[in-house]
Amino acid sequence: MRKLKVLLFLLVCLGLKDAMGQRFELRGKVFDDKTQKPVQSVSISVGNRGTSTDLLGQFKILVDPMEPLTFSHVDYKEQVYKLGKDENDIVVYLQTDEAKGSMNDVVVVGFARKSKLLSTGASAIITADDIKDVPAANVADLLQGKVAGVNIQTTSGMPGARSSIFQRGLSTIEVSGQGNDAFLASTQPLMIIDGVPIDPNTDYEYGFATAGTGVNPLTLIPAEDIEEIQILKDAAATAVYGSRGAYGVWIINTKKGRSGKPEINYVTNFFLSTVPKLREIYGGRIERAIKVDQIINHNYYDSPDYGWAMVNLNLFLSDSLNPYFNNSTNWQSYFFGNSFNQNHNLSVKGGDPTFNYKINLGYYDEDGIIKNTGMSRYSVGMNTIFEPRSKKIKLMANVNATNQVRNNGSGVGLLQTGVATSGMASTNLPPPDIYTENSGALAAFSIEEDNKSSTILSAIQFDFQILKSLRFHTEGSHYYSHSNSNTFYPSWLNSGSIYYLPTGNNPQSQYNTFSRIGNDYYNRNVLTFTKDFNEGKHYVMAYGFSDLTVNTIRSNALLLYGAPNDNISGPIGYNLANSRFGTNGVPLNKRIFGYGGSFSYAFMQKYVVDLNYRIDGTSTNGPLSGWRHNPSIGVKWNVHKEAFMEAFSNWLDYSWFRASWGRSIVPQGNVFNIYGTYYPGSTYMGRPSVMIDFGSAPNAYFLPNTSVTWNFGYEGSFFKGKFSIEYDAYYSTRENIARAMPIVRESGYSEKPTNEVSMVNYGHELSLRFKPVQNEHFTWNLTLNGAYNKNILTHLPSDVRQLIVSRATDPNVPDLPVLYRLGRNALSNYLYNTKGVYSTYEDVPVDPLTGLRQQINGRYLQEGDPIFADLNGDYVINAYDLVAVGDPQPKLTGGFINNFTYKNWSLAVNASYTFLRDVLNTPLAKRFQYFYNPESSGALPPIDEYDYWKQPGDDARYPNPFTYQQNRAIGSYRYNQTLFMEDGSYFKFNSVTLGYAFDKALISRIKLKSARIYFTGQNMLVISNYSGPNPENVSDLGRDHPDGYPSPRKYSLGLNVTF
């Protein structure tokens, strides 16, 4: 909430005048208090005389000394200025009229700042106020549910983990991996942090479940240092970022110095992360009893004798008096625990409009609720702006440096497979110890991972006014990131091949190193012409620009096996034959060059037209596909400026319609797609040879991912800002999405990259803001937003209408394919349709021809087995019986924010929701799968609450979990069945903050400007019908993961003081 106050400056005194009764010419300038930009068309009246400011906010008027001046403008609060003695050149800062607040927000549209009144694009602004009071490593978590059309899902509780961000629906269908670990390629929006563009989709090269260090660009900046985030949604808004803007653009600006006196602000949070409800397990004796019962009474041969033999074969079942097998260990308690965390942020700001500075120091430390995981961040950021009073030049420089230390424990990023496996170790085993078996457990909390990433973002911007209406802007930035992770596994923890190397039965110690260096360079030059004619009737802005982006990434991995000593952690020597080293992923050296122009015209501020055109070349375009031309057009009608709307001006603040069309791209693929892969071969006739790799054919016509968006929007504000509405409807096509397709063997190659996938997203976005009560003591603000997105696949390579991808090739991985079918949501589940459980033997269908019961994997079904729909009626359940069902993409997302303030107290509630989404509850399936192997050591979870088959005649929902051999053979609890597909809709209370601001008069005695304490609860409550652990903790393909990292509930106590 901005305070209602006026800043008055006395700037220059030009000589003395004989004052009394002497009318003289007063000069002055009018600026916006917030943006420090000149305001034009401000009407100034003195007595019966009047004038208005020009484009640069300047005015001249004849005044009598001591005569008050009145400044008025439709967007600002009226202001009366009393001339002091001897003033003849004044600077006036106008305060925005709260009622019309959002109209005056300045947005970056293209490469120029513009009042929202004149902007034709769809965008949203999040300010520091919207994200305060909640500690978070990742800013995206704070934006959840706050912007219509931006779907943010916190898919992991790992500190600093990437959230999944989808702006206006799906942008790709590229699925990597197989089984339940399959993941969707990342298509997050381009982030521009203080002028440094950062592509958040890099460093994703290895997928979420593979090795690597990983820097999440949204963890680079402390949330406390962010002044505003602009989210550009439609093509008119992102047009000039066309070379990389197709997934959306976020512009993140850090705070700037502004106040005259230096201002020191300190924010600290102490927060407690608590473990959510974990999987329950049976302890000790019950676990053994269930297993023994399973083996004796439910074995495939129906033979207790066989069962006893099997029990006696397994010592951990039969030797119950052995102290080693006679325990009741709660393994999860060794892995999970509450953690106390803190963050501190200190910023120093100062200066005046001419020269100002800001320095921000941040420290953030969060331990995960899984032992030995966590993240700490040290950050330093500074910026400075120099702009002489003449406004002829402007120089802005900023540097943000961070150092992050992460600890992934035994997991990699999203998954904690090690913990999940060890956490489900048999409770009969003794607690973890160097002398006991469960080395996965020990590894999870005793292996030290030295995982650091350092980043430096630096940018410099320079503006020069060549002529009154012609400005030149140039800026350059550099983003450097270096991350590496070193891990040493002593021999007694280096079991099997879990650390990427086959080590055999008697492993030696191993040293793993991953290193990644990224350098991004960016340069942009803009020449802007701004002019208005006929006293502001016609407004013209035009600019031409060029921009160049260079990205280089190099990533190496060393897996050194056979280090000589367990006590000295380092690769002092290693077994060369068993070690692996080389590049990790594909090294990257990418360029994008673009140039273009933009032209805007506004008539009477009523009608606005924006035209943009940009031409791009990228190094991953096919050489024969040429430059990409990306035009866009936006139009706007400010209805409230029309004469006929004057009559409604008492209740209508503003009201406008806008529409846009445009095209933008994102480069995809790599140089190998377009030129093929060459490698050095053997010598031929004594000369070295170069061979081409026949895996993938070059495609010289390879294209970038292209998006064409139509957008229609309406915005209005009524009753002095008591109610405002923002509505957008869009229709967006995604074209030229890359997909490799197999080609005929006669070509010599096995596949070829194509650009033949396309899809459509369309939807509606609505934001409503209410300010029902605004008085001195009590204010109430309420914001509601929601977005509906529908996604349809419209084209596949080779004109096929359907493709099934991500089939499991590894027999140990559950087969969970993804179906692409035209006319449907782009990603569909492809599942067995479970219709219940066979109650008796007689219910199992019999093939009339062969007389055999229905079978799966060659096993005949029996009572208590699942009924999978036999679609093709051949009495065999196999891949021909899969059905396309469900949509893993949420269709309706949004949230609400409710703020109350009463005197010094404030209460903020922030919630988000996701509806119409199908989630595969694999943790539930896995829960029953734990009963698959009673002959092996492992814990069992209680399943009494589930309606499973117990005896013939039962009409149950879940198959008999105890017939372990049968279940294993036929996959009764396979993941890919509709039994486990559930509605993943949820409503989540993200945060609740109760704050108290100390009385200013009181704290000024101890030299404090302001002080606030607050208490925040985060991730408080999720309301959902979903029966799994957390409907949000699921992958983009809508699959929950039994090995996922649970989201903690956090309670924090914070203090915010300004000196």
Partner 1 sequence: MKKLFFGGIYLVAVLISGSCKKLTPQDRDTIDPAATFLTTTFSPILGRNYIARGAFSSGESSLPMDFEIINVRRFNGEPAPELTEDIYPVTVWKSTGAGAYTGEEKSIDEIEQKRTTENHRILEMRRSSGDIVVWGSVNTSKLITRPDSGYRFDVKVSNSGATRYFYNLRFMPYKPVPHEPHNYNLNTGMTSNPALTSGVSGISMSNFFRRRDNTAMSASEVDVYFNKLSSDGNSLTFKFLDSAYAPINPKLFNSTDWEHLVHGFGMQLTDTEVKYTVAYPIPLTQFPTRFTNANGTRAQVAFSYYRLGAGGVGVTATLGFNFAIYQKGDWEIAFHFKTTSPKFTDD
Q: Please give the residue ranges that form the binding site for partner 1 (CB under 8 A).
A: 645, 648, 652, 655, 657, 712, 714, 716, 718, 727, 729, 731, 760, 762, 764, 790, 792, 794-795, 800-804, 821-824, 841-853, 860, 871-874, 876, 880-882, 884
Q: DSSP state, 1008?
A: -
Strand pairing class (355-367; 628-638): unpaired
Q: Which is nearer to partner 1, 445 or 654 (CB)?
A: 654
Q: Which is nearer to partner 1, 548 or 883 (CB)?
A: 883
Backbone angles phi, psi at 204, to 5 degrees: -110, 10
Tokens of 969: 């053979």
615 vs 89: CA distance, rounded Å? 46
Q: Which is nearer to partner 1, 860 or 987 (CB)?
A: 860
User: CB of residue 870 vs partner 1: minimum separation in angstroms?
Assistant: 9
Q: Are 695 and 716 in contact (CB under 8 A)?
A: no
**Interhelix angle for 304-313 vs 285-297, to 10°?**
140
Tokens of 896: 């609400």
560 vs 490: CA distance, rounded Å? 12
Q: Which is nearer to partner 1, 627 or 770 (CB)?
A: 770
693 vs 687: CA distance, rounded Å? 19
Provide the phi-psi class of 68: left if phi over 0, else alpha when psi is between -120 and 50, else beta: beta
User: CB of residue 231 vs partner 1: minimum separation in angstroms?
Assistant: 21
Q: State the Cα torsion 824-830-831-832 to the nearest 10°.
A: 90
Contacting residues for 130 by C-beta, under 8 A, at least 6 apart: 142, 146, 897
Q: Which is nearer to partner 1, 148 or 275 (CB)?
A: 148
User: CB of residue 869 vs partner 1: minimum separation in angstroms?
Assistant: 10
Strand pairing class (226-232; 249-254): antiparallel
Q: Which is nearer to partner 1, 595 or 718 (CB)?
A: 718
Q: DSSP state, 447?
A: -
DSSP string, 234-278: SHHHHGGGTTT-TT-EEEEEE-----SS-EEEEEEEEEEEE----
User: CB of residue 953 vs partner 1: minimum separation in angstroms?
Assistant: 14
User: CB of residue 169 vs partner 1: minimum separation in angstroms?
Assistant: 12
Which has the closest alpha carbon to 364: 346, 383, 338? 346
Q: Which is nearer to partner 1, 593 or 731 (CB)?
A: 731
Backbone angles phi, psi at 228, to 5 degrees: -155, 155
Task: Please tell me the chain's helix, strand, coil percentages from 3-state DSSP, rounded to the nearest 5.
Answer: 15, 50, 40
Q: Which is nearer to partner 1, 332 or 893 (CB)?
A: 893
SS3 (DSSP) at 677: coil
369 vs 142: CA distance, rounded Å? 20
User: CB of residue 167 vs partner 1: minimum separation in angstroms?
Assistant: 18
Q: Which is nearer to partner 1, 24 or 880 (CB)?
A: 880
354 vs 349: CA distance, rounded Å? 14
Angle at 75 between CA 71 and CA 76, to 5 degrees: 45
Q: Which is nearer to partner 1, 300 or 601 (CB)?
A: 300
The structure tokens 């009339």 sit at: 848
User: CB of residue 983 vs partner 1: minimum separation in angstroms?
Assistant: 21
User: CB of residue 557 vs partner 1: minimum separation in angstroms?
Assistant: 36
Q: Are 399 and 214 in contact (CB under 8 A)?
A: no
User: CB of residue 165 vs partner 1: minimum separation in angstroms?
Assistant: 24
254 vs 248: CA distance, rounded Å? 20
Return the number of other C-beta atoms located less than 10 Å from residue 265's C-beta. Answer: 20
Q: Which is nearer to partner 1, 714 or 900 (CB)?
A: 714
Q: Which is nearer to partner 1, 701 or 860 (CB)?
A: 860
User: CB of residue 881 vs partner 1: minimum separation in angstroms?
Assistant: 8
User: CB of residue 172 vs partner 1: minimum separation in angstroms?
Assistant: 18
Distance spanning both ends of the chain, measured CA to CA: 19
User: CB of residue 822 vs partner 1: minimum separation in angstroms?
Assistant: 4
User: CB of residue 642 vs partner 1: minimum separation in angstroms?
Assistant: 11
Q: Which is nearer to partner 1, 472 or 860 (CB)?
A: 860
Which has the closest alpha carbon to 31: 56, 2, 50? 56
- List alpha helices for 353-416, DSSP H: none
Q: Which is nearer to partner 1, 645 or 784 (CB)?
A: 645
User: CB of residue 970 vs partner 1: minimum separation in angstroms?
Assistant: 16
Which has the closest alpha carbon to 913: 897, 899, 898, 892? 892
